[in-house]
Structures are given as structure tokens and as C-alpha cells.
Homo-oligomer: A and B are copies of this chain.
């Protein structure tokens, strides 16, 4: 079966970047994540070039995993369109919520997000008007509603222009977090 590797994921790492060849930070972070044994990388734009998502594959993978991680640039203060489509199609009634919908209960959830701005743009009187965390309310409540545990997000600001050393350091933080998820027995 194509995609059988996802069934062995202890951590499913869903990457959503519409132009990965021109990505800097998301490409680097996804590569770092994919190098961790037990983490399986699901590159949404590569796996669904026609943008059509049915959801069964991801549901099976997540059911077998203990944690779900999403990696994406912030676009218009939210996730890219295809990742939202993925949530809409994958987290369906009777699986994620509602009668019999217990598949996600107790699993851990981590958002790893990049931004194009310096952190000081994400303040009340900055150009973006609020911290990134405020804009994550829809994703956080989705996670809570489905009974998953929301972990503090990893935010990498100024992703395109940050120093190489900063990006490498952040990739290390992500790998540490993934290892912690893999070792977590709670």
C-alpha cells in the first residue's frame, strides 16, 4: 500500500508549505523532523498535488500514533488553505468528535509555525496587532474540542531572514520536542 509508512508513525508530522523548493525554514525543519526515528513526514502539498483530500490515510496514521505535529508558515494569521482543508476532511464526526468520535482523545498536539515578521510585530501596537498565540485560537480549540493535549507552540519568527545559527538552533529545539513526545509514556 502506498503510504503504508504512515501506519508506523509514532508521531505524524504534517507539513503544509505550498512552495517547498523556495522555503527556507519549513524545509529545514521538516528535514530535521524526518530524521527522527518514529516520526513520519506527511508533506501535504506533495501528497495531494490535486488538492483533493479524502482523509482515510491520515485518520489511520493518527489512530496509530501518539502525537500529531503540524508544521506550516503562518498565512493571513492562520494555517495555509490546504492544511485547513486537511483538518476539515480528516477530523470528521464519528472519528474526531460526536458519537463514537474518540480517536484523538489523549493524544498530544504540537504546532510548529514560522512567521515572516519579527516577534515585535506581533504585539498590540505592532503591525499585526496581537501575539501569534491569539491567532491560534481556532487551532487550539479544535485540539481541545477533540480531547487532545495542546502543547506550547514552537514559533520561529522572521523565518526567511533569521541567521543560519538561529534556524539550526530552532531545528534542534524541534528535534528535542519530537524526542520528548516519542519518549513520553503518559
Contacts and interface: CB of A to CB of B under 8 A. Distances in A.
Interface of A: 18, 50-52, 75-89, 91, 127-130, 134-135, 137-139, 141-142, 144-145
B84 A80 contact: yes
5 contacts: A75-B84, A76-B84, A77-B137, A81-B84, A82-B85
A140 to B, nearest CB: 9
A135 B144 CA distance: 14
B129 A77 contact: no
A76 B51 contact: no
A84 to B, nearest CB: 4
Most buried by B among A18, A139, A141: A141
Given A134-B137, A137-B137, A78 B78 contact: yes
A132 to B, nearest CB: 10
Nearest to A80: B88
A145 B127 contact: yes
Given A128-B145, A129-B144, A138-B138, A87 B91 contact: no
A48 B160 CA distance: 31
A164 to B, nearest CB: 25
A154 to B, nearest CB: 19
Contact of A78 (B18, B75, B80, B138): B138
Contact of A87 (B50, B81, B82, B83): B81
B81 A85 contact: yes
Given A82-B85, A85-B85, A76 B130 contact: no
B137 A135 contact: yes
Contacts of A145: 127-129
